[in-house]
Structure 1
């Protein structure tokens, strides 16, 4: 039973992080990433917070939502 509970919590944190990333991407020039973490489950990360995404984070990205703002007029 513990396994099912863990899967439910991980799925829940994934979909929460995905929703945050999708909301942020609508108002950002930068990509939004869903990152897997052993302690937190999943969390959303704004690529604009880093010059280049560090390797230790880039290797844990499981989904990317592209920024929807355009800098072209």
Structure 2
């Protein structure tokens, strides 16, 4: 799916949220999601903060970075 970013603010908040999600994922068991927010543009959410992502958040996920820690050892 292709999405056109209308403003510079949206692009800046998107890339800032992706960077935050990537940084958090390195030190987390949980996936990090970039979610579109009406007020802030884009924000990063840690899946570990929720038992399951609420429907409102699931429907607004635009990018996911998988958690990098493994607990199999």
Q: By the TM > 0.5 criterion, same fold?
A: yes
Q: Which 4+ stretches in 1 moved above 4 angstroms?
A: none
Q: CA deviation at 1:7?
A: 1.1
Q: Return 5+ residue gaps in structure 1 as ranges.
A: 1-5
C-alpha distance after superposition, 1:19-53 (max 9, x if no partner): 00000000000000000011100000000000010
Instruction: Give the alignment's TM-score, normalised by structure 2.
Output: 0.91
SS at match of 2:35: strand
Write 1 or 2 for the structure with the bigger share of helix: 1
User: How many corresponding residue pairs?
Assistant: 68
Instruction: Give the gaps of 5 or more residues in structure 2.
Output: 1-5
**Cα-Cα RMSD:** 0.8
